[in-house]
Amino acid sequence: MPDEIGLFEAIDTQRGLRQFKPDPVPDEMITRLLRAAIKAPSGGVRQGWSFIVIRDEETRRKIGDLYRTGSRFDIRDDMSTQQRRVYRRAQHLEDHMEDVPVFILACIEGGPGGPVSGASIYPAVQNILLAARGLGLASVLTTRQSRFEPEIKDILGIPENVTTAAILPIGFPAEGVRYGPTRRRPLEEVAFDGHWGNTWKTEAE
Ligand SMILES: Cc1cc2nc3c(=O)[nH]c(=O)nc-3n(C[C@H](O)[C@H](O)[C@H](O)COP(=O)(O)O)c2cc1C
């Protein structure tokens, strides 16, 4: 296992990495990600989550086939440069799904879109992303498996009352792909002090 990094370094530099080395990921690392996942909160501590680790080549190929035949990202000129870059990378990932050494498919009991179910699985998903950052593994949150929900459930034998929430591709980052600071809307724009519109004042950083 690599040396541990600080919590805030992990939070500040966890960005979507979508290109992977083909090398396998040691089981102990995957177990560490899963242990991080199950520490997350869930409504009423129900923990209706399940995580399927997918490494088998045939299964990855079947999932890759689904993505290749599915709808493509709509990348338009009126989008920001950042958005277009993200969508291009996301499309590249979907065109090469079976080359990813590991997927973790996060599932939650209950129907899709319920008010509680998403809030009870995405904290666990975020824990996996942060733990991957901590271990130097590449990953990104993806949700477009929902286009193939019945097919994926069939391939993996997922029970009827369980919904797929996210697929996290996992692997060592490809050459030249690395974690780093993320770009976000500034705090002054999105954080208020006591009342909508009262900008939260930050100390000079
Ligand atoms: C609900 C949700 C769905 C997402 N779906 C995808 C996806 O299908 N494919 C993908 O590559 N990234 C997906 N992302 C990742 C976002 O595109 C990512 O957060 C965005 O690229 C920000 O970039 P950064 O993580 O590099 O800062 C998703 C993120 C969220 C929160």
Q: Do the Cβ atoms of 61 and 98 come closer than 8 Å? A: yes
Q: Determine which residue's CA is closest to atom 13 belonging to ligand 1.
A: 142
Q: Decide: pTM greater than 0.85.
A: yes
Spell out the residues 6+ positions from residue 14 whose beta carbon is closer than 8 angstroms to its own: 129, 130, 133, 179, 182
- Answer whether 140 contacts ligand 1 (Cβ < 6 A): yes
Average pLDDT over residues 113-124: 81
pLDDT of residue 176: 95
- Answer whether 182 contacts ligand 1 (Cβ < 6 A): yes
Q: Cα–Cα–Cα angle for 100, 128, 37, nearest 5°? A: 130
Distance 194 CA to ligand 1 centre (A): 30
> What SS3 class is residue 6?
coil
Question: What is the spatial distance between Cα 16 and Cα 104, in angstroms, rounded to a whole number?
Answer: 15
- Structural domains present in the chain: 7-190 (3.40.109.10)
* Residue pLDDT, tens place only, 39-51: 999 999 999 999 9
Q: Determine which residue's CA is closest to atom 5 belonging to ligand 1.
A: 142
Q: Determine which residue's CA is closest to atom 4 belonging to ligand 1.
A: 142
Strand ordering across the sheet containing 102-109: 49-54, 102-109, 162-170
Distance 88 CA to ligand 1 centre (A): 12
- Answer whether 130 contacts ligand 1 (Cβ < 6 A): no
* Residue pLDDT, tens place only, 82-91: 899 999 999 9
